[in-house]
Amino acid sequence: MSETVQFERAHDIVIAAAAGAILDYVTNPNSWPEWIAASHHIESPDRPLEVGDSFHERWHTRTGEVVLDWTVTARTHPSSWTAETSTTFIGDIVVRYDIEDADGGCRFIRTVINPTRPKPPTEDMVHRIDAEAEISLRNIKANVEQRIR
């Protein structure tokens, strides 16, 4: 059996909105193409997803398109949500959204975990992950704040 590594990266932003409004937006996968550049097609009910719900995402990578089959594994409204998928190229992917009170609104934290990645990401990969996350979080903030005005 080959060795694997766990990789985890978290990014956060303060959004001037109620926790429930933020969680409902980000847990409706149909919103993902609005804020995640790699996500370009979703097959999902058009609502925030609950534990046991599943959805399909078409995702652009540097080497082509990948179809991800996600399942929601945890949800505590309005503070957290977790979904999981599996890939052949980096193993399992776990995405977790947490929301907590913060000055000026709520802090939205998006954590991506690869619990059994075949090898560590390169420094360049981590830089790209961070840059893409920063754009995604700014998009979430703008979209949620615009919807509540």
CATH H superfamily, domain 5-147: START domain (3.30.530.20)
C-alpha angle 24/108/22, rounded to 5°? 20
| Tokens found for residue 54 | 């599943």
Residue spans per domain, the chain: 5-147
pTM for this one? 0.94
| Rounded Cα gap, residues 105 and 22, in angstroms | 10
Task: Going residue by residue through the chain, which has 149 residues, state the pLDDT in tens, using 9 for 90 and above.
Answer: 578 999 999 999 999 999 999 999 999 999 999 999 889 899 999 999 999 999 999 988 777 888 999 999 999 999 999 999 999 889 999 999 999 999 999 999 999 999 999 999 999 999 999 999 999 999 999 999 998 87
Count of positions (residues) in the chain: 149
Alpha-carbon gap, residue 127 to 108, rounded angstroms: 20
